């Protein structure tokens, strides 16, 4: 009987020490200026940043409430540029609702979703633990050559238990929600320091009764852990998660990667077209009974797989009992604490240094300060699952226009709410009589509530040129100029911002009085940022996803205080991207010598594109009238990246997207490093191809 297995090969992405749950696409790479921490963020105190990426940042945060309540949480804060993408925000809210329905010991809990300072966020359970990928890296760093078999089995058993709960979760109508995680991978399985197993990041989870995933080519998940049907772009169900669990079981118990190749395309071919090795082929003396479990989970035909994660869990538990393996949360926790002893000490010291300052900051923001009435011109809108139905899958995918009122929301029932509010009201009138039990004769037993409708004002906003995005108090409106924005508060500051590509943002602060319908007319100024390039050989230059047609050595007219991307490329060379933000009138200079592709890289890229085109080209479409639709195929070389086409997210490469004919901008955001963008022309009924090099 084997008691341990070899450690897997080195993982491909860096981990974040202490990060409880990293979402796909996040890497420990700073973006923009370093934020001064700790600082207040609505009702949370951000303590330190755990990770950042192309869509969001993760923070360790402290949540304080009444009666000395304190709790660490993880805040997933959406980056400002993503707040402009309404489709992304709707998807975020849908996913938060799915995640918030899941309450299970083997699944990370979602507590809250809302908006603060014009930025959307999700608050999640804080876990003191590490994901499998990080565990393996730490083992290799400390020359621990074998992964204990009992711990490997404990991880997969805990994973199966969490999947059983999610797959069988029912809605209030008693019908199964049909939830599929779609991204079961080592990055999304965390082992806590107490030995518990947690499945994280149901952020790409799908309810089979929802239609948010109806776009063609919307491929989510890590390629090496995709099921054959998922890799082939077919409709998937819960059995796709079971296949991924089988891949993880194979890798943890053999020490070898199952699906690993030089490109995503080749990895997909391994999954879809090749015969899978037996565990005993790569690990001599592999237990036959355990091998049967692995291979049943890895059946290419989903009908031949385990039909429930519960059945896979039962077989693994039967094997543990038969072999009398010491599977235990206590032993797992002790092993984790020994393995990460130095990290735990460092994190404890860090928190001891930050906590006093966080206490001082939070003391300035008592819980009642977060009601809508006290937030002035910066409303902090927050919706927790206990009071707003975040967990209701049938709810609308938009944030309600009015924030919830925190007063009394923590109370258990309507009668108790009235009683407490009544006592509070009496106390403001005559504390002495309240103490003696005597109510003032003039007191109304219920709080005074105004019967009048609160007056609102409006802004009529025009700009030259028209079509500028409108921001009110940090919130992007659906309208563009010219437009009239109604239902604005009276007597408090309104922060207005107009933004448009190629122009400086216009910002002003104003107030509306009773009956005001103020008109704002703005002439937007062209950008004042200049970029000077010193590049060899002479490149083709793309600026913010569009080809630069002027002097490539000097790029002018870029807007201040906005993120810009300059991509330089030349045939046979690895492209380079510069991402930057500049102040008004500032000049930026970049010097770079492009790196030539090796003959092998160039040949491999050309061959991969030929093979892919041969395999994936659809039959010729019927003639389409001008102004119809076409297809964009997006691939990546040297890794994978998350793709957006015309501002809509399509997940990781490879991607096939159907778009309106015309010129569209395709953006590729790799796991780490800056984004790359290209503009391509899509003919009606035609197919345009974009390949990004993300390995240079």
Q: Annotated active-site positions, please?
A: 183
For residues 696 and 638, what is the distance between their CA atoms, to the nearest angstrom? 8
Q: Which helix (H) or strand (E) holds 192?
A: strand 189-192
Q: Which helix (H) or strand (E) holds 49?
A: strand 44-53
SS3 state of residue 649: strand
Q: Which helix (H) or strand (E) holds 247?
A: helix 239-254
For residues 19 and 552, what is the distance between their CA atoms, to the nearest angstrom? 42
Tell me how many degrees the CA angle 85-86-87 measures, rounded to the nearest 5: 90
Helix axes 264-273, 599-616, angle to 10 degrees: 50
Structure token pair of residue 301: 């035909």
Tell me phi and psi for residue 510, to 5 degrees.
-145, 170
Structure token pair of residue 496: 């207005």
Q: Is there a contact between 86 and 95 (Cβ–Cβ < 8 Å)?
A: no
For residues 292 and 329, what is the distance between their CA atoms, to the nearest angstrom? 25
Q: Is there a contact between 481 and 510 (Cβ–Cβ < 8 Å)?
A: no
State CA 59 to chain mean position distance: 13
Taking CA atoms, 278 is separated from 1, 247, 282, 313, in Å, by 18, 12, 7, 20
Q: Strand (E) positions, 375-504?
A: 381-384, 457-464, 469-472, 475-480, 483-488, 494-499
For residues 621 and 448, what is the distance between their CA atoms, to the nearest angstrom? 67
The single residue listed with the structure tokens 């772009």 is 233
Helix axes 341-363, 329-339, angle to 10 degrees: 90
- Name every residue whose Cβ is closer than 8 Å to that of residue 57 and which is 6 or more positions away in sequence: 31, 49, 51, 76, 77, 79
Taking CA atoms, 606 is separated from 70, 232, 572, 597, 691, in Å, by 57, 22, 11, 12, 10
For residues 681 and 240, what is the distance between their CA atoms, to the nearest angstrom? 35
Q: Is there a contact between 545 and 537 (Cβ–Cβ < 8 Å)?
A: no
For residues 356 and 519, what is the distance between their CA atoms, to the nearest angstrom? 48
């Amino acid at each position: 009987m084997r008691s341990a297995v070899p450690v897997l090969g080195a993982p491909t992405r860096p981990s974040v020490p202490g990060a409880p749950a990293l979402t796909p696409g996040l890497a420990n790479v700073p973006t923009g200026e370093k934020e001064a921490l700790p600082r207040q963020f609505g009702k949370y105190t951000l303590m330190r940043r755990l990770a950042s990426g192309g869509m969001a940042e993760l923070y360790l945060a402290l949540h304080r409430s009444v009666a000395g309540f304190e709790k660490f949480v993880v805040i997933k804060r959406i980056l400002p540029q993503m707040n402009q993408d309404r489709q992304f925000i709707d998807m975020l809210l849908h996913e938060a609702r799915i995640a918030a329905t899941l309450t299970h010991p083997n699944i990370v809990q979602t507590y809250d979703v809302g908006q603060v300072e014009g930025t959307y966020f999700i608050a999640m359970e804080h876990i003191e633990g590490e994901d499998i990928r990080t565990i393996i890296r730490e083992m290799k760093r400390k020359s621990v050559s074998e992964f204990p078999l009992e711990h490997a089995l404990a991880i997969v058993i805990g994973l199966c238990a969490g999947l059983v709960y999610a797959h069988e979760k029912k809605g209030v109508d008693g019908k199964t929600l049909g939830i599929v995680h779609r991204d079961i991978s080592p990055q999304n399985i965390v082992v806590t320091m107490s030995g518990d197993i947690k499945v994280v990041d149901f952020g790409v989870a799908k309810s089979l009764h929802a239609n948010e995933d109806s776009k063609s080519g919307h491929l989510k998940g890590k390629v090496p852990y995709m099921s054959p049907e998922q890799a082939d772009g077919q409709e998937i169900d819960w059995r796709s998660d079971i296949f991924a669990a089988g891949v993880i079981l194979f890798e943890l118990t053999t020490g070898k990667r199952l699906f690993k190749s030089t490109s995503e395309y080749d990895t997909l071919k391994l999954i879809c077209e090749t015969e899978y090795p037996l565990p005993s082929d790569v690990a001599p003396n592999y237990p036959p009974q355990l091998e049967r479990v692995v291979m049943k989970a890895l059946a290419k035909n989903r009908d031949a797989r385990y039909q429930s994660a519960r059945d896979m869990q039962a077989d693994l538990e039967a094997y543990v009992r038969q072999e009398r393996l010491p599977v235990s949360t206590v032993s797992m926790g002790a092993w984790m604490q020994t393995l990460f002893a130095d990290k735990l000490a460092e994190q404890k010291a860090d928190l001891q240094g930050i906590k006093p300052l966080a206490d001082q900051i939070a003391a300035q923001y008592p819980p009642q300060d977060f009601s809508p009435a006290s937030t002035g011109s910066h409303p902090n809108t927050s919706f927790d699952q206990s009071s707003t139905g975040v967990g209701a899958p049938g709810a609308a995918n938009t944030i309600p226009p009015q924030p919830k009122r925190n007063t009394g929301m923590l109370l258990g029932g309507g009668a108790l709410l009235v009683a407490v509010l009544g006592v509070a009201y009496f106390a403001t009138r005559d504390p002495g009589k309240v103490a003696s039990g005597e109510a003032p004769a003039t007191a109304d037993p219920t709080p005074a509530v105004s019967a009048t409708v609160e007056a609102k004002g409006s802004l009529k906003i025009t700009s030259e040129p028209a079509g500028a995005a409108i921001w009110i108090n940090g919130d992007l409106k659906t309208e563009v100029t010219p437009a009239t924005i109604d239902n604005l508060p009276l007597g408090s500051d309104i922060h207005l911002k107009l933004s448009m590509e190629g122009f400086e943002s216009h910002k002003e602060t104003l107030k509306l009085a009773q009956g005001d319908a103020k008109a704002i007319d703005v002439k937007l100024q062209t950008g004042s940022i200049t970029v000077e390039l010193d590049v060899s050989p002479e490149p083709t230059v793309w600026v913010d996803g569009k080809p630069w047609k002027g002097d490539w050595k000097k790029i002018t007219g870029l807007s201040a205080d906005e993120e810009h991307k300059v991509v330089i490329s030349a045939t046979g060379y690895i492209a380079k991207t510069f991402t930057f933000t500049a102040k008004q009138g500032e000049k930026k200079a970049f010097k770079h010598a492009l790196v030539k592709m090796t003959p092998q890289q160039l040949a491999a890229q050309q061959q991969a594109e030929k093979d892919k085109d041969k395999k994936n080209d659809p039959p010729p479409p019927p003639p389409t009238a001008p102004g119809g639709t076409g297809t964009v195929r997006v691939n990546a070389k040297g890794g994978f990246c998350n793709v957006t086409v015309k501002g809509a997210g399509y997940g990781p490469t490879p991607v096939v997207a159907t778009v309106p004919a015309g010129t569209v901008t395709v953006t590729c955001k790799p796991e780490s490093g800056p984004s790359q963008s290209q503009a391509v022309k899509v003919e009606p009924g035609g197919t345009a191809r974009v390949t990004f090099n993300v390995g240079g």
